[in-house]
Amino acid sequence: MSETLERWGSKRAFILAVTGAAVGLGNIWRFPYVAGENGGAAFLLIYVAFVLLLGIPVMMAEILIGRAGRRGPMQALGALAAEAGATPHWRWLGLFGALTVFCILSFYSVVSGWSIEFLVASVNGSFNGASAAEIGAGFEAFLANPGLQIFNHSLFLFMTMTVVAAGVAKGLERLNNLLMPLLYGLLLLLAGYASTTDGFGTALAWLFLPSFEALTPSVVVHAMGHAFFTLAVGACALMAYGAYMPEEQSLPRAAVAVAVLDISVALLAGIAIFSVVFAQGMDPADGPGLMFVTLPIAFSELPWGSVWLSVFFLLLLLATWTSAINLAEPMVATLQGLGLRRSISTAIVALSVWLIGLLSALSFSTLAEFRPLLGRNIFELVSSIPPDIFLPLGGLMIAIFAAWVMPRERVVSALGAGENGYIMWRIIIRWVSIPLTFVVLLAGLL
């Protein structure tokens, strides 16, 4: 397959596209609940450190491979490996990425489906006047309803795959332009409201004052996985977007901008959610339902609550949509690279993700007791192992490829940061990011 000539419309469009991939359930749904289960501030501290030390440098490595290769991930890796005189087996890394996003999209679609249900419920005013206990019980009942779980999962996946079928670059540019500022504004408003509640002080202390007894090896492993997940790094998904990057853009600047935006969205969501958790005397370690229960409670206390809540779920849905499109792209690109038509590739991906996603959709009802591994059901498995293990493993290989295998001049030009920027990046990725990821992964697997 030859090099693509397609480019994002502008530098800003590229940054927005990567932000669209990064900001999603990871920031607003996953961060609060994983932080809740892993001691709050200790987790936050390590996760931010990992974003800086691993996430940003590996993101640059991933995007620069795409930019230098200007093809789908498998083909880009294969072509660049050949150019460097290295083994063509590097292209299997693209396939591993596709497998990772496959697993992730299968549960991502189910949870995004919950946003559809909650959007409809808030438009209907179903949360008006409901108590915290009623909202919690309503969520449990919804999870336990197999028909609704399957319906919403199917609807969300359909929404995603229709955009993917049409080709991503054009449609996404417009959506991202509007979506990110709106989502950010609404989260600011929510965090502002949270500062007036009784739980605000406790929430800040819980999020920002680490207690180091809470710092166990498993917290470190989860924090690393989450750093990769939230930035959308490690699955060759951003590599696919890098292929369309404009020629004259600086990659480090773009990566830092995305990471800052991404962390701040998570922090705003965390402050809003944990203020409600503590004001209502709830348990921060309540698991995947945390956001879906706390935010309806918070909004129901605001004037025009159900309007704000509807807008929030709409924006959340759009944010997960742009991430899901990014998750689907490498799989479709891979199949296309094998010579299939785009429409056929999209249909194959859609059908197989839908089928495997059913296992997650039913993990709260029919299949709740089907626990094939480590005592966990399918939802618990696919929402932890691919983010915590597969993404860092993929990220590690991507980093090794960019830092040790690719010829120097190729990297310098694809990084777009001059000779000094390149040297700094290379020192960090070779001597910090790669060894650190390796050690934490090994500790996690042992």
Residues lying near ligand PFF in the complex (CB under 6 A): 21-22, 24-27, 101, 104, 229-230, 232, 235, 237, 323, 326-327
**Least distance to ligand PFF, CB of residue 386, Å:** 9
**Residue labelled with tokens 């917290």:** 219
Asked if 131 contacts 297 with a C-beta cutoff of 8 angstroms, the reply is no
- Find the length of the chain: 446
Closest by alpha carbon to 160, among 379, 386, 394, 357? 357
At CA 173, angle to CA 103 and CA 68, rounded to 5? 70
- Tokens 């919690």, residue located: 136
Nearer to ligand PFF, 199 or 330 (CB): 330
Instruction: Rank residues 222 and 410 by Cβ distance to ligand PFF and give the closer one.
Output: 222
- Token representation of residue 446: 């042992």
Q: Which is nearer to ligand PFF, 21 or 440 (CB)?
A: 21
Residue 63 or 282 with smaller CB distance to ligand PFF:
63
Could you give phi then psi for residue 289, rounded to 5 degrees? -85, -5
Closest approach of ligand PFF to the CB of residue 18, in Å: 10
Q: Token pair of 62, please? A: 């991933």
**Which residue's C-beta sits nearest to ligand PFF?**
26
The least distance separating ligand PFF from the CB of residue 29, rounded to whole angstroms, comes to: 8
* Nearest distance in Å: CB 416, ligand PFF: 22
Q: Which residue, 393 or 412, is less far from ligand PFF as judged by CB?
A: 393
Q: What is the nearest approach in angstroms of ligand PFF to the Cβ of residue 432?
A: 22
Nearest CB to ligand PFF, comparing residues 101 and 276: 101
DSSP for 364-408, please give it: TTTTTT---BTTB-HHHHHTTHIIIIIHHHHHHHHHHIIIIIS-H
Q: Tell me the residue type at 51.
A: V
Residue 131 Cβ, how far from ligand PFF at the closest point, in Å? Answer: 30
Shortest CB 317 distance to ligand PFF, Å: 12
Nearer to ligand PFF, 230 or 377 (CB): 230
Q: Which is nearer to ligand PFF, 104 or 190 (CB)?
A: 104
CA distance 201 to 203: 5
Q: How far apart are CA 261 and CA 15, in angstroms?
A: 10
Cα–Cα distance for residue pair 252/242, rounded to 1 Å = 13
User: Cα separation of 95 and 99, whole Å?
Assistant: 6
CB of 104 to ligand PFF, least distance (A): 6
The burial of 66, by beta-carbon neighbours within 10 Å (0-12 exposed, 13-18 middle, 19 or more buried), is given as: buried
User: Are the C-beta atoms of 219 and 40 separated by less than 8 Å?
Assistant: no
